[in-house]
Amino acid sequence: MRKMKFGDCLNDMLQLRGWSAAKLAKALNIDSSYVRRWVRGERTPALNSNYLQQIAGALNEGLDKAYKKSTKDAFVKGVEELGSGVEGTEALSFHDRLVHILQQSQIYSLGMDHEARKSTKPVERQSYVMDLLDNVHRQSIGPNLTKNQESTSIQIGQIPASIQGRDNVLAAAISMIQEAMNDKEPKADREIFLTFQSEREYFDGYPEIYGHWQHTIVEALRGGWNIKQICKLNRSLERSLKLVNQIMEWTNYRGKYELFYVNKYGIYHPPFEIFLIKGKCALLCFATENNNAIDAALYISDAQSVLVIEKFAEQMFNNVEPLVRSLDLEQYFELNSATDRKAGHHLLCYHDLNFLTVPYELMRKYIRISIPNEDENSIHMKRITASYQSFERDIQKFRTCHIYPMKVFEHLVLTGQHLNNVYFRPTPGDVIDHIQHIIMLLRTYEGFEIALVSDNQMNLLNQAQWEIKGDHNIMIGVMPKNENDTSVELLTIAEGTIVGAFQEYYWNLWDRINPITRDKASVISWLEQLLRREKTGYNGTYDMAT
């Protein structure tokens, strides 16, 4: 077998079988865009996934029928030519031969991807989403700073009036914010304005500075500083995914983070950026050597000059759109009802069970208990009923996928209480009914799936619970960063680029979950074991592999 990329190998197999990417996707019960990305070589299934077995099974399905003999003969002959020269396949079944050939191309592609990542700059690598998410997560955490550790080359209180070099400009921005945070008499409003309008990622090539930047921003938010940022959106998946992670990392602190966006070149081109501490100082940043990125800045600390810049910045913010919109609880319920009216896939990652997994009559009981006011009760039940109807409508054509920590179910069975949801107040019988209903949903609807995250994989989940409705809306509940705080900040995003980035984020998260804990039969078996525990009072643990 000649060395072949996975996408080329899969494409040849589909052509030999006479199938389209969409037909294979339907057989695998996954989105067709997922298969098309495989075929185009934009991504390769992970080695620990079971996709190769599923693909081979789908392509081999039905070929034993008598009327499929000519199709099978042509397919088998083509596969044999495709895998010619591969040793050790003679004794394999045809299904296993398919898996083996796909596996050889998978290993080859993953090896090529690894070498390409080592030899190329990390710019616009749209096909390496999983690696990107890993890198962004590592970068967003930032280094552990100590009091004696120098964070930048420009020290607090020593920012020059004129700054040359992108690294020095970024270092000055960090020092400026740190100086404001250290001010013993800070301004009452405590506001920071930032703009990032360039096509260029300013921190590319400066990972240490980027780590200090993230650390500084988070410390400012923890200290109650409010941050308003303008960013530029384009078709770059890398930029969009960085914004996704940034939204997660910078939300639900004492200070408020607001993100606005512009399209195309932004408000100014070549790039002109402002880093402004309201009432204190500012950096006016310019691109002097090229049109792509800032490389020089002027530091302004005169009170009257800063006031002029503040007024100019306010004009800029009047010409942009909010990328992230904050919601109160009533607005969240209204938006949830509105998005339910639009058909599409429903992808959900929660820290406790979503209400759609609850039997309808049990949900009515919970609402009566938690909302005794009849008028409010009626309003909520009307919304909930519409959501159940939307589920029944969409599940016939679209996928509904839920990701939950395993401990959500274990805690419910062990204690009889939900881990986080205070509105659900079950009796022991309610717990049994709830889990039986989930098993029924999994068995009844091919498009309904649950992936369970074990304790040793909890690092995959961040401090947010979120859901994607079709291609049109994301709703996010960012959990409090402070253990003493119980508030959840509710956000929504409707901008198409970011919605698409969240979809990529979700499917990559799904892929990285242990295949056993997202296999439907294994999940059902595990839930049935939990039911037996509930009925018998057994307090041990159950392994999904048993």
* CA count, 13 A, side-chain hemisphere, 282: 23
For 368, other C-beta atoms within 10 Å of its C-beta total 12
pLDDT reading at 122 higher than 50: no
Mean pLDDT for the stretch of residues 242-253: 80
- The strand pairing partners of 26, in sequence order, are none
Q: How far apart are CA 230 and CA 357, in angstroms?
A: 39
What pLDDT does residue 423 have? 79
Supply the pLDDT for residue 269: 59
Q: What is the pLDDT of residues 252-306, one digit of tens each?
A: 888 999 999 876 544 555 678 999 999 999 999 998 887 778 899 999 999 999 9
Using DSSP's 3-state secondary structure scheme, residue 453 falls into: strand
CA atoms within 13 A on the CB side of 400: 22
Q: Give me the amino acid identity at 205.
A: G
**CA dist., res. 274 & res. 270, Å (int):** 13
Confidence (pLDDT) at 55: 94
Measure the CA–CA gap between 525 and 546, rounded to whole angstroms. Answer: 9
Domains and CATH numbers, the chain: 6-122 (no CATH), 162-323 (3.30.870.10), 326-537 (3.30.870.10)
pLDDT at residue 319, rounded to an integer: 81
Which has the minimum average pLDDT: 78-87, 242-251, 277-286, 314-323? Answer: 78-87
DSSP tally for the chain: helices H, then strands E: 18, 15
**In the prediction, which pLDDT does 281 show?**
94
**Which residue's structure tokens are 């030899």?**
119
**CB 288: neighbour CB atoms within 10 A?**
11
Residue 442 in tokens: 């999994």
3-state secondary structure 150-173: CCCCCCCCCCCCEEECHHHHHHHH
Backbone angles phi, psi at 437, to 5 degrees: -65, -40
- Whether residue 241 is predicted with pLDDT greater than 90 in this model: the reply is no
487-521 pLDDT, tens digit per residue, is 777 888 888 878 887 888 888 889 889 888 999 99
Beta bridge partners of 104: none
CA distance readout (Å), 175 to 71, 378, 388, 522: 69, 54, 52, 53
pLDDT tens string 421-449:
877 889 989 999 999 999 999 999 999 99
**How far from chain centre, in Å, is Cα 332?**
20
Reply yes or no on whether the pLDDT at 130 is more than 60: no
Q: What is the pLDDT of residue 261?
A: 84
One-letter amino acid at 67 equals: Y
d(CA 227, CA 196): 13
pLDDT of residue 178: 92
Q: What share of the chain in percent tops pLDDT 90?
A: 33
Q: How many CA atoms lie within 13 A of 310 on its CB side?
A: 15
d(CA 196, CA 213) in angstroms, rounded, equals 14
Residue 229's pLDDT is 93
Q: What is the pTM of this model?
A: 0.63
Q: Sorting pLDDT into bands at 50, 70 and 90, what band is 245?
A: confident
What phi, psi does 427 have (nearest 5°)? -95, 170
Q: How far apart are CA 307 and CA 284, in angstroms?
A: 13
Query: How far is CA 509 from each of CA 162, 297, 444, 463, 493, rounded to the nearest angstrom?
Result: 45, 40, 25, 14, 19
- Give the span between the Cα atoms of 33 and 279, in whole angstroms: 49
Distance CA 370, CA 513 (A): 34
CA distance 449 to 538: 27
CB 477 within 8 A of CB 470: no
Could you tell me how far CA 111 lies from the centroid of its own chain?
26
Q: Which residue has the higher pLDDT, 92 or 404?
A: 404
Three-state SS at 237: helix
Q: Which of 287, 286, 276, 284 is nearest to 161 (CA)?
A: 284
Residues in the chain: 546
Q: Average per-residue pLDDT in the chain?
A: 81
Q: Residue 47 has which token pair?
A: 């080695």
Burial label, 415 (beta-carbon count in 10 A; 0-12, 13-18, 19+): exposed
Task: Give the pLDDT confidence score for residue 522 in this predicted structure.
Answer: 93
What pLDDT is attached to residue 128? 33
C-alpha–C-alpha distance, residues 398 and 445, integer Å = 10
Cα separation, 386 vs 396, in Å, equals 16
Residue 484 has pLDDT above 50, yes or no: yes
Nearest-angstrom CA–CA distance, 502 and 347: 10
Structural contact between residues 133 and 245, judged by C-beta atoms closer than 8 angstroms = yes
pLDDT in tens, 57-103: 999 888 887 767 777 888 888 888 887 766 656 668 888 889 889 98
CB 154 within 8 A of CB 213: no
